[in-house]
A and B are shown apart, each in its own frame.
Chain A
Amino acid sequence: MTTMATPTQPKPVKQAAEAPAPVYNPKSESAGAKRAKSVIFHIVALALTAVVLYPALWMIASSFKPNAEIGGSNTSLWSSNFSFDNFVTAMEGIGGVSTLQFFTNSLVLAVGAVVGTILSASVSAYAFARIKFPGRSIFFGMMIATLLLPFHVVIIPQYIVFQQLGLVDTYVPLLIGKFLAADAFFVFLMVQFMRNLPAELDEAARIDGAGHVRIFTSIMLPLMKPALISTSIFSFIWSWNDFLGPLLYLNSPEKYPLPLALRLFVDQTQSSDYGAMIAMSVMALLPVLVFFLVFQRYIVEGVSTQGLKG
């Protein structure tokens, strides 16, 4: 809370240093004052970093602690009784299904989501961004509207239909939307990206006799790589973390992805084995954390340029 007031304050020194000069030159303030401000900035920013990352650090630290020490009198993050026991327990899985199986399920769903989204969103975005056809702007407006639509309004009828088709407890309901560009955000992202590519590219190709399929596959797709990468990363992570979809559609534990397995774990152990529960939480987040470390530039840039949600 105290930090919330600070950002409005860092500037006064600057303006006091040089009021009447015709050209404002921030470099003219003394080196000492500059260094002091820099030190204060880093102290504040580091303190904030510690607060923000604390839950993640606590989670990782607790996963290596014996049960008795989590939430016990030992408040330090590090425990002298460091052990992998929690992970060994967590790897055993739950409901007769090994954790490795849950991982595989999550991976299948996430990869399916990425493939489906990339295929369907890029093709649809090409139509919106590069082809003139009647009704385009109306459909585009509708697509934007679905961005704001609470999806709860569609889950009940969707469930009824999938239930009647006998597709409950399969991955079809979870993946079909990905192959039909139902995540409008990615279509929007790609449209925005394509609109920024020079129009001369496809005009030249059309004069040379290339059709839309050629233009799309050999000109647009290669140029869209940054947008495709952001889309892949986010659709992977969203699918990996998705809870409501699997909760609605999957009944058999051997088909559960990790978030559902975690819930099952919580239900069945009911905090009797906190350590294993947290170890499993860590494992469930591990791919996301690795993704983040590897692709953080793409992720953060994607958010700042496209306004993607986390």
Chain B
Amino acid sequence: MTQSPTLNRRSASSTPPLPRKSRQRGADARAGYTFLLPWLLGFIALTVGPMISSLYLSFTNYNLFDPPKWIGLDNYTTLFQDERFLQSVGVTVSYVVFGTPMKLAAALAIAMLLNSKRKGQGFYRSAFYAPSLIGASVSIAIVWKAMFGDSGPVDQGLSFFGINLGGWVGNPSMTMPMMILLTVWQFGAPMVIFLAGLKQIPADLYEAASMDGAGPVRKFFNITWPMLSPVIFFNLLMETIHAFQIFASAYIISNGEGGPAGSTLFYTLYLYLRGFSDFRMGYASAMAWLLVIVVGIITLIFFRTSKSWVHYSGDSK
């Protein structure tokens, strides 16, 4: 690897090979770190440093004004007796567990529908993608709140079919379906990625399967799913991690309170309220670190289990 490219250059130059090479290496190292400087500075000052200090803060009582007071594991043990914390965990977990698979199922199904050479595919792809671009904005949260409010279009549409749920926004048992619909509505981004993956599957696989008499269901489970599994894995991982971090929509829809009855008290919203309205920054840091640990464990589980169901085609290394 290090041999072949340097060989040409060495024979092209008249200077003795070794000094030249090591001088080059030194120059490369200097250049490498110079070019890397912006990222490296940011990484140290904005990521590693803050991570270490939030880890420290998570073992303290800190309110931004008085110096931090070391309290050991108290924040962590208090968390598990804090009913609102437990509620925020419940809200977030049900959002992740129901919302993410539904969003990905919609994304995959619609990607398969669009995966043909028909006219208008580009139009549909763009139209379906659009919500992903605006879905997390404050504007859409306001619109969602209005649409699902009392006598909003959703309520009226459902009443037309004889279903009288009233407004979803004020009903603690309907806010979660509303939030899940908001994330499912943004199926476009994973759909576009699925579509790109589907296009990579060689058509002759399906043709051969057809000749062997395989139906659409068998083709899906024996060709589409395994061939697409790296893309499914990528989307599942990214969407799950993102789902844990939902904030703006929940904040706007609940007026920053997580209501009604705590039904939209998402983890990050509670973290924000603890840290920046109550100024219990040690407590909020403990919450943040717990989130990092949970997301880390989930990522690890995903990667571990992926060996059994994610297939990378042999020829691409």
Contacts and interface: CB of A to CB of B under 8 A. Distances in A.
A225 interface: no
Contacts of B144: 55
A64 interface: no
The residue in B12, B112, B289 that gathers the most chain A C-beta atoms within 10 A of its C-beta is B112
A55 B105 CA distance: 21
Given A134-B29, A303-B192, A4 B35 contact: no
B28 A19 contact: no
A139 B35 CA distance: 13
Given A10-B113, A72-B151, A24 B32 contact: no
B138 A281 contact: yes
A241 B137 contact: yes
Interface string B34-74: 11111111110111011101100100000010000000000
Interface in B264-278: 268, 271-272, 275-276
A138 to B, nearest CB: 12
Interface residues of B, number: 116
A91 interface: no
Contacts of B174: none
A19 B211 contact: yes
A243 B241 contact: no
B262 to A, nearest CB: 19
A250 to B, nearest CB: 13
Contacts of A119: 38
SS class of chain B's interface: helix, strand, loop or mixed?
helix
B106 A4 contact: yes
A304 B192 contact: yes
B146 interface: yes
A111 B149 CA distance: 36
Given A24-B210, A120-B39, A45 B142 contact: no
Nearest to A53: B127
Contacts of A55: 131, 140, 143-144, 147, 185
A203 interface: yes
A150 B292 contact: yes
B5 A203 contact: yes
A19 B209 CA distance: 10
A72 to B, nearest CB: 7
Contacts, number: 320
Interface string A212-241: 100010000000000000000000010001
A146 interface: yes
A7 B112 contact: yes
Interface in B197-221: 206-207, 210-211, 213-217, 219-220
B39 A153 contact: no
A131 B139 contact: no
A146 B9 CA distance: 37
Interface string A116-157: 000111011011100111101001001100101111111111
B164 interface: no
A176 B132 CA distance: 26
Interface string B274-295: 0110000100110111011001
Interface string A1-42: 001111111111011000100001000000000000010011
A86 interface: no
Interface string B284-310: 110111011001000100000000000
A239 B268 CA distance: 19
B242 interface: yes
29 contacts: A7-B113, A10-B216, A52-B128, A53-B127, A71-B146, A71-B152, A121-B39, A123-B37, A123-B38, A127-B31, A131-B32, A131-B35, A132-B32, A139-B39, A148-B295, A153-B289, A154-B46, A156-B281, A157-B53, A161-B50, A177-B42, A187-B39, A206-B9, A243-B248, A266-B255, A281-B140, A289-B134, A292-B126, A292-B130
**What 8 A-B pairs have minimum CB-CB distances, sorted nearest first?**
A180-B42, A310-B132, A133-B32, A127-B35, A124-B39, A281-B139, A157-B50, A7-B112
